[in-house]
Structure 1
């Protein structure tokens, strides 16, 4: 058994170094290409932009690092406490159901009460969630999953909404918004890879609870920075002036959610964009739960996988960085614009579910498929972030983004709520189906966008993905012309270089 473990562990280290080498090559090529695209078309950032960008990226990336730290060991911690897969499924379902419930209103509340307050609420909720992991009590762990669901929704709505609003409020060009998204995606990959190694090191020395403690400390520091250094902004001017009465607040939040819902139904582009996003993330978050037991199903790899959870997580995150770099390189080509990359991302994600569905005990092939999926995740986030920046109205941004998350959470709740009665093959067949649905949604989004020239969101300053303008989905003033400002070409000399409970 020792030989199997040694060979298996070496196998994962070989994959890590090989994938890191590929990632480094992609990043170098993309960076060189980005420099080659610059010249007369270079858009010089206005004064104050780099400082603003650094502060936002530092805080958001620390928040993501803390989130990533728990990724490899959530499932393992519950097993350590003696819970079986059925009970663990209930705990995961509680988190996703919490995210679905809070997702319907949290974004609207952030628009009304303030996006800064929404970011502060994220830190508080996540610290509470991490602290509950110190108890093996099922009820405490369940409460922690509820807090985690709220935190997850705020992480993926409040921070982006605050940044986009502040970006335009300060008068920065719309073309630079994509650059921030690209650097966020690249930095998120770096944070995720680092988190895998840090989490495994901490767990090896202090047990599976250690990564959660480290994350809590990071979150506390970031909360202090946001509290002392960030300004407040709102979805509407009236939100800042409203009274604090509970009844009035509830009515305003409900009105904001209804307005966001009706906006999605009126605009086919928003509807299909949201469905494409929800479908992709539904399959991805189901994978988040399944990758640990799936890779451990083969007895020959069980011990090696159990002893390398952080390393395997780091491999996945290296693949995410590779996808971010590939996106930055391809989206800079006029012939292959942002929207034209959508079918590739959704199709490859669907195909990555075939091997786990047909050969659930073939660990090497499943590992390769999971790496392909994570590569698509790296392309997905900057791509959809740029598209949301173009199509989602500013005054309803957080509410609409929260509503996008409701169907994905409902899907995951249904699947994980029945995971004990479903085989690994069946679960991945369902993931395949939902990725195919996302592929269809993005095709309909492209047709709707081509049929109608996009009107830029209020205050956005001129994104156009509706078929007019440059085919790469950016204004010609973007020196990188990559639709994300260089996901893989972050200016690491001057700037700082995804996620839920993965």
Structure 2
């Protein structure tokens, strides 16, 4: 492995460590022992859930190839997963609001465990069922857990600002440290113990089972709209009306879809971007480096959200612009650096520059997740939280399916350019969200001022 990879990983590790130990009292939120116990319980469960997800990711494609499937069949399996999330995600989100978020989290564990079990079969139909189950589980993972957390946090009367602490820690651990450890653990099972590519899926099922046991033993149930007379169609209509009637919710959904669509496209494209001539690159180590950059981003986000200024709506505009610029590097380097004609070998100069840009993008991803969670907790109504959050994922899944289907139809530079434009649009929409939020805040203060002036004086 070339020294470049060690240098980037070491530099990021030093920066993450420095950011964490340099936090002052202004960067920390004073909380209560009851909240700390609640937060730590959630972080343990969320980390186990994410471990179950991260263990599978690096080996899905590899497992399908060992079963003898070609690129076209594997592409269909991946499209089935995203299509399942799109078709069934809103339904399971609505059921979570109506039947209970805790129950939905348990359903996530069961569904994903069943998906892991299907990986033992080389039959295409069985694997397709597994992808459908995985798509349903993904919708539950990215809606039910957050919905349960927000509702339970409010039900227990904790300070609203403390939510940002839980969000940032969840991303720091679940999307950072746990992702790195899961990648190393999966590599340990497959390469060191030579248990085969299905071993990480078995390990994932074990982590999910442990997390489910903690949920069943320590979580209480909460609901969105528990009305028995409200069917799914009525819930969909209510969620759609909430999005249509509140521009802030609509803007938030568009911003989320644009950023996550770019993020998932990046996941598919970074490998061919760094090795256009079949250069030998350490995929696992690069993945760990990206996750370390994401940890840095979540650590920065925790410091930003611990302060009253700047507001999330304000600094996220800058984050989107930086992420847009970072994904332009493949286009810029194609003009400034002469492409190599040599097949194989180590990473090129262009690849090194692009990797630094990709690390910057991953740091923006680390800032994005806790920040979007905080904005969702502020703007999405509680009674239909899971339903609305899964509504947001419909355009995202459509976009990813289209990209997967046409991944070979356009050059990589075109795809990165498209993502960069999407992120600029996200920044513009974020600006609009800030303006609306500030305007409504001013109107509320003016109304309070008039109410205070109208109150009679008691003499």
Distance in 1, matches of 2:178 and 2:256, equals 23
Q: Distance in 1 between matches of 2:158 and 2:304?
A: 25
CA distance in 2, matches of 1:297, 1:159: 39
Of 197, 207, 225, which aligns to 2:184?
197
Instruction: Supply the distance in 1 between the matched residues of 2:355 and 2:132 (Cα, whole angstroms).
Output: 31
In the alignment, what sits opposite 1:281? Answer: 260
- Tell me which residue corresponds to 1:163: 149
- Paired with 1:231 and 1:334, the residues of 2 have a C-alpha distance of 31
Q: Deviation at 1:75?
A: 2.9
Deviation at 1:268, TM superposition (A): 0.6
> What is the RMSD of the two structures over their aligned residues, measured on CA atoms?
2.5
In the alignment, is the contact (CA less than 8 A) between 2:97 and 2:226 conserved in 1? no
Mapped pair 1:149 → 2:135? yes
Task: Report what 1:441 is aligned to.
Answer: 429
Q: Say how many residue pairs are matched.
A: 431
Matched, 1:401 2:383: no
Query: Where in structure 2 are the equivalents of 1:82-481 lying within 5 Å?
Result: 82-188=68-174, 189-205=176-192, 206=194, 207-238=196-227, 242=228, 252-301=231-280, 305=281, 308-357=282-331, 359=333, 362-453=350-441
Q: CA deviation at 1:448?
A: 1.8
Q: Per the alignment, do residues 19 and 82 of structure 1 end up closer, same or farther by CA in structure 2, a change over 3 Å counting?
A: farther
For 1:267 and 1:159, the matched residues in 2 are separated by: 24
Q: TM-score, normalised to structure 1's length? A: 0.80
Determine the C-alpha separation between the residues in 2 that align with 1:90 and 1:220. 29
Q: Provide, for residues 33-65 of structure 1, a one-character-per-residue CA deviation record: whole Å limited to 9, x for no partner.
A: 2x2556xxx7542x5322222211111111012
What secondary structure does 2:120 align onto? coil
Partners of 1:114 and 1:233 within 8 A in 2: yes
Measured after TM superposition, the shift of residue 298 of structure 1 is 3.0
In the alignment, is residue 55 of structure 1 matched against residue 41 of structure 2? yes
| Cα deviation code 1:267-310 (max 9, x no counterpart) | 11111111111110011111222233433433232xxx3xx332
Other structure's SS at 2:224 match: coil
Distance change in 2, residues 1:429/1:77 (3 Å)? farther
Change (3 A) 1:86 1:429: farther
Query: Residues of 2 paired with 1:450 and 1:321: CA distance?
Result: 30
| Shift, 1:332, TM fit | 4.4
Give secondary structure in 2 for the equivalent of 1:235: coil
Q: Residues 57 and 173 from structure 1, CA distance in 2 versus in 1: closer, same or farther, beyond 3 angstroms?
A: same
| SS of residue in 1 equivalent to 2:223 | coil
Q: Deviations over 1:215-248 (max 9, x none)?
A: 111011111221233221111243xxx3xxxxx7
Structure that is richer in helix per residue: 2
Q: Is the 8 A contact 1:316 1:374 kept in 2?
A: yes
**Contact residue 349 and residue 376 of structure 1 kept, 8 A:** yes
Distance 1:432 1:59, change over 3 A: same
Contact 2:326-2:357 within 8 A present in 1 as well: yes
Q: Compared with structure 1, are the counterparts of its residues 78 and 410 closer, same or farther at alpha carbon in structure 2 (3 Å cutoff)?
A: same
Contact conserved, 2:31 with 2:162, CA < 8 A, in 1? no
- Compared with structure 1, are the counterparts of its residues 165 and 147 closer, same or farther at alpha carbon in structure 2 (3 Å cutoff)? same
TM-score (norm 2): 0.87
TM-fit CA distance, 1:330: 3.5
> Which has the greater radius of gyration?
2
Superposed displacement of residue 177, structure 1: 1.7
Q: Unaligned 5+ residue runs, structure 1?
A: 1-5, 243-247, 456-463, 470-502
| Deviation sequence 1:395-453 (CA, Å, 0-9, x none) | 11111111111111111111111113233223222222322222222122112212212
1:307-342 Cα offsets, whole Å, 9 max, x none, are x33222111110001011222234445552221111
The alignment status of 1:78 with 2:71, answered yes or no, reads: no
Q: Which runs of 5+ in 2 are unaligned?
A: 340-349, 449-459
Q: CA contact under 8 A between 1:276 and 1:438: conserved in structure 2? A: yes
